[in-house]
């Protein structure tokens, strides 16, 4: 009885072990390469999969991990049975590269890639992470070696594009798609950095002096333009003032002339009504005004009358007649 129970227990345990070996649960975005008797058989996708125990085996592959420790980031390699299809980033260690002008520069890069064909990733390359790392390092040396230091420092996008194209073309055989490459740090030697800093400081000082000189020049130009405009405004103001003054004087003279003409007309009508000569009458009035202006002021002034004035003064009698008629 005990023997039968033991046998049954062993059979149950064996069945459980066979079932557990037969069921393979694969997570999302992962696949498992299955070999049957050493030959590729199938690829298990996400979900529950059935395999033949002890006959079907998962093909392992090398993988690279970056682990954060107290000393910083550390790179570790491991053998895995499940292939991750998600995009992966590799942070490569700094390496020294030489530019075309013989400057040793320290550069490190980030590589973003994704396995698109797990079968080729397993069977076309023996150690995929190591091959990608070595390919990235050699390609980076080749690209930087074609540029001088200044071009290297200012052409990161160009370098990233060239590296991505080279790596994507080379890793296509391995079933890998390189999405992008990013250069993190480009560190020239200390003496080169000091020289570049002095050059940049000199360029800044030069630009500052140029801007200051241009500012002074612009200020002088603005000031001269302001003075010129001020002179123009004053001249135009004086011109307009003189024109207005001349127009006012002309209008005043016109009004005076019109008033005098009207007065002369009225006087002429009055004088003609009295029977006197209007011309002699007006001349007599002018002489009287002149005599008055000459007699004003100093009483000791001697007044000389022209000879013709005696005949003209006879017209003064006409004023008397005019007064009488009025």
For 225-254, what is the mean pLDDT? 87
Residues 171, 195 contacting (CB under 8 angstroms): no
pLDDT tens column, 291-311: 666 655 555 555 555 545 555
Highest mean pLDDT among 70-79, 81-90, 186-195, 292-301: 81-90
Considering the domain boundaries, does residue 299 fall inside one?
yes
Which residue, of 30, 59, 88, is where some domain finishes?
59
State the pLDDT at residue 307.
46
Provide the CATH number for the domain around residue 150.
3.30.479.30
Are 176 and 99 members of one domain? yes
Q: Which domain holds residue 91?
A: 62-188
Three-state SS across 252-311?
A: HHHHHHHHHHHHHHHHHHHHHHHCCCHHHHHHHHHHHHHHHHHHCCCCCCCCCCCCCHHH
Are 21 and 69 members of one domain? no
Are 131 and 110 members of one domain? yes
Are 40 and 90 members of one domain? no
Mean pLDDT of the chain: 81
pLDDT tens column, 169-224: 999 999 999 999 988 888 887 877 777 778 778 888 888 889 989 988 888 898 88
3-class DSSP state of 48: strand
Considering the domain boundaries, does residue 255 fall inside one?
no
Considering the domain boundaries, does residue 259 fall inside one?
no
State the pLDDT at residue 323.
47
Which residue, of 173, 188, 203, is where some domain finishes?
188
Which residue, of 144, 168, 188, is where some domain finishes?
188
Considering the domain boundaries, does residue 222 fall inside one?
no
Are 157 and 116 members of one domain? yes
Are 144 and 29 members of one domain? no
Given a cut of 60, is residue 73 above it in pLDDT? yes
């Amino acid at each position: 009885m005990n023997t039968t129970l033991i046998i049954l227990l062993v059979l149950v345990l064996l069945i459980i072990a066979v079932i557990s070996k037969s069921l393979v649960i694969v997570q999302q975005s992962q696949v498992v390469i299955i070999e049957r008797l050493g030959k590729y058989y199938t690829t298990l996708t996400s979900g529950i999969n059935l395999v033949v125990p002890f006959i079907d085996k998962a093909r392992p592959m090398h993988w690279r991990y970056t682990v954060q420790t107290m000393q910083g980031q550390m790179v570790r390699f491991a053998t895995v049975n499940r292939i991750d299809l998600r995009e992966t980033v590799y942070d490569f260690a700094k390496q020294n590269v030489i530019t075309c002008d013989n400057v040793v520069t320290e550069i490190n890069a980030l590589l973003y890639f994704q396995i698109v064909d797990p079968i080729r990733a397993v069977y076309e390359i023996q150690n995929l992470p190591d091959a990608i790392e070595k390919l990235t390092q050699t390609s980076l040396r080749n690209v930087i070696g074609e540029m001088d230091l200044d071009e290297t420092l200012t052409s990161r996008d160009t370098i990233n594009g060239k590296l991505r194209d080279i790596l994507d073309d080379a890793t296509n055989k391995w079933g890998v798609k390189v999405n992008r490459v990013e250069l993190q740090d480009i560190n020239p030697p200390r003496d080169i950095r000091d020289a570049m800093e002095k050059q940049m400081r000199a360029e800044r000082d030069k630009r500052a002096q140029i801007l200051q000189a241009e500012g002074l020049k612009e200020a002088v130009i603005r000031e001269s333009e302001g003075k010129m405009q001020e002179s123009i405004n004053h001249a135009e103001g004086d011109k307009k003032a003189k024109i207005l003054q001349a127009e006012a004087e002309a209008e005043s003279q016109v009004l005076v002339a019109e008033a005098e003409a009207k007065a002369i007309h009225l006087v002429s009508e009055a004088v003609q009504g009295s029977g006197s000569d209007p011309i002699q009458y007006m001349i007599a009035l002018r002489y009287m005004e002149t005599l008055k202006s000459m007699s004003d002021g100093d009483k000791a002034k001697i007044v000389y009358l022209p000879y013709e004035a005696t005949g003209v003064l006879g017209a003064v009698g006409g004023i008397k007649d005019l007064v009488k008629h009025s």
